[in-house]
């Protein structure tokens, strides 16, 4: 089986975990602090707060800013994005996407803004940044917060600035992401206020204070009902080691993506991923689209690849506005034709830094074989 994704773990992560195990500090500890400091430096922000997931990061990014109202985001995303909006006490408003990048269409955002709108949540799809220049301009025009769902875009850039540094950034360290520690998340921000609030919410609502006679270090008084969303020291040990390899792994992803594209460009039935102008794509996923007219056979196409030992998948289907839980959030006048077309035709192919060229060649051959069969 050629797996969809495989984490790149070696002796360095194992050695780091062993050191933490021997230290006895398995929950909070120095590795958590080290990871947060190095992550903030990598993204180019003042603060980073490690958490147990990106879903928690998104929720706390909203709650920390006391946002109450509608948040505009794409329907073409994983359900965690909208779940975070609901769990933070806000309402999702779904915007359509651009066909090429699969990212939220800035032209569609402005049409959805009303008196209830409080924020925009761009989701950087598959490793490529949204058009942050246009999104930030809209946000400034209407006084809206920007919460970046950067789960799939660690190291991606727009105009040489990394995703997660434009607004309040939210990252994932799930096993399929560009770095992983199994499960984990991060909030990035330049706001000390947001930093302090996310820290408190993630740790049962207890604000951190300097130790003194009036405030001894064992004082743990909750200021508001928070959560236990913290990252464990043992996971941070893995994440620190992974972060040290991020540039190498992202370069490998880009090289492998180029190889796939070069060898699939002759397939007229396919639309291949590409790097938008002003962007630096890190290919957390490599997705192809079957051109309109071929779309109804997409599931057969994926099934064929799987029968041949290729773990192809679909990201994302169904889109959120087509899921029963979120159908009620689509306004009668709203329509998302590009989202529906893309979700019906998109396919995710295996791609990760250590995938072998012979496996890529096999994937390419079986894709061409599947397309030939469907032509008949």
The fold of the 247-375 domain, in CATH, is 3.90.1150
**Interior/surface letters 30-68, b for 16+ CB within 10 angstroms, e for the rest:** ebbebbbeebbebbebebbbbbbbbbbbbbbbbbbbebe
11-245 CATH, one of 3.40.50.880, 3.40.640.10, 3.40.980.10, 3.40.50.720: 3.40.640.10
Instruction: Give dist(CA 343, CA 297) in Å, integer.
Output: 13
Instruction: Give dist(CA 122, CA 105) in Å, integer.
Output: 9
Instruction: Give dist(CA 29, CA 22) in Å, integer.
Output: 13
Helix (H, G, I), strand (E, B) or coil at 88: coil
Pure H helices in 265-332: 298-307
As beta bridge partners, residue 51 has: 185, 230
Q: Tell me the CA distances in angstroms from 206 to 59, 223, 224, one per residue in order.
A: 17, 6, 8
What are the boundaries of each domain within the chain? 11-245, 247-375
Instruction: Give dist(CA 242, CA 9) in Å, integer.
Output: 8
pTM of the model: 0.95
Looking at residue 375, what is its pLDDT? 63
Going by C-alpha positions, the residue among 175, 225, 182, 230 that lies closest to residue 204 is 225
DSSP 134-180: HHHHHHHHHT-EEEEE-TT-TT-EETTEETTTTTEEEEE-BTTSSS-
Instruction: Give dist(CA 202, CA 230) in Å, integer.
Output: 6
Question: How far from the centroid of its chain's Cα atoms is residue 71's Cα?
Answer: 17
As beta bridge partners, residue 26 has: none
Q: What angle do CA 314, 317, 323 make, to 5 degrees?
A: 160
Cβ partners under 8 Å of residue 293, min gap 6? none
- Cβ 112 vs Cβ 95: under 8 Å: yes
Residue 312, Cβ neighbours under 10 Å: how many?
Answer: 22
Mind listing the pLDDT tens digit of every residue in the chain (376 residues)? 999 999 999 999 999 999 999 998 888 889 999 999 999 999 999 999 999 999 999 999 999 999 999 999 999 999 999 999 999 999 999 999 999 999 999 999 999 999 999 999 999 999 999 999 999 999 999 999 999 999 999 999 999 999 999 999 999 999 999 999 999 999 999 999 999 999 999 999 998 754 445 556 667 788 889 999 999 999 999 999 999 999 999 999 999 999 999 999 999 999 999 999 999 999 999 999 998 776 448 999 999 999 999 999 999 999 999 999 998 887 777 789 999 999 999 999 999 999 999 999 999 999 999 998 766 5
Cβ partners under 8 Å of residue 44, min gap 6? 161, 162, 165
């Amino acid at each position: 089986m050629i797996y969809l994704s495989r984490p790149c773990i070696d002796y360095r992560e194992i050695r780091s975990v062993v050191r933490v195990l021997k230290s006895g500090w398995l929950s909070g500890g120095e590795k958590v602090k080290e990871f947060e400091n190095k992550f903030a430096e990598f993204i180019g922000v003042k603060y980073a707060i490690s958490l147990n997931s990106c879903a928690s990061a998104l929720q706390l990014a909203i709650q920390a800013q006391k946002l109450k109202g509608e948040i505009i985001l794409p329907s073409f995303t994983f359900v965690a994005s909208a779940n975070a909006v609901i769990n933070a006490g806000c309402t999702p408003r779904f915007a359509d996407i651009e066909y090429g990048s699969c990212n939220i269409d800035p032209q569609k955002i402005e049409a959805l803004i009303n008196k209830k709108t409080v924020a925009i949540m761009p989701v950087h799809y598959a490793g490529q940044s949204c058009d942050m220049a246009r999104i930030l301009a809209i946000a400034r025009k209407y006084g809206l917060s920007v919460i970046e769902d950067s789960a799939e875009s660690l190291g991606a850039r727009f105009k040489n600035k990394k995703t997660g540094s434009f607004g309040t950034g939210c990252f994932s360290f799930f096993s399929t992401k560009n770095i992983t520690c199994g499960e984990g998340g991060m909030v990035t921000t330049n706001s000390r206020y947001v930093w302090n609030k996310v820290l408190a919410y993630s740790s049962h609502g207890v604000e951190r204070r300097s130790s003194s006679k009036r405030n001894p270090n064992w004082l743990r008084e909750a200021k508001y009902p928070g959560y236990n969303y913290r990252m464990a020291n043992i996971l941070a040990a893995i994440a620190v080691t992974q972060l040290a390899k991020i540039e190498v792994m992202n370069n490998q992803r880009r090289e492998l993506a180029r190889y796939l594209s070069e060898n699939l460009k002759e397939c007229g039935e396919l639309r291949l991923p590409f790097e938008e102008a002003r962007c630096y794509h890190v290919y957390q996923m490599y997705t192809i689209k079957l051109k309109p007219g071929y779309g109804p056979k997409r599931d057969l196409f994926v099934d064929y690849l799987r029968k041949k030992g290729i773990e192809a998948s679909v990201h994302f289907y169904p889109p959120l506005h087509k899921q029963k839980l979120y159908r009620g959030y689509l306004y009668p006048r709203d329509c998302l034709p590009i989202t529906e077309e893309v979700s019906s035709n998109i396919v995710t192919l295996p791609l990760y830094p250590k995938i072998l060229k012979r496996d890529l060649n096999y994937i390419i051959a079986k894709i061409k074989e599947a397309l030939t069969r469907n032509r008949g």
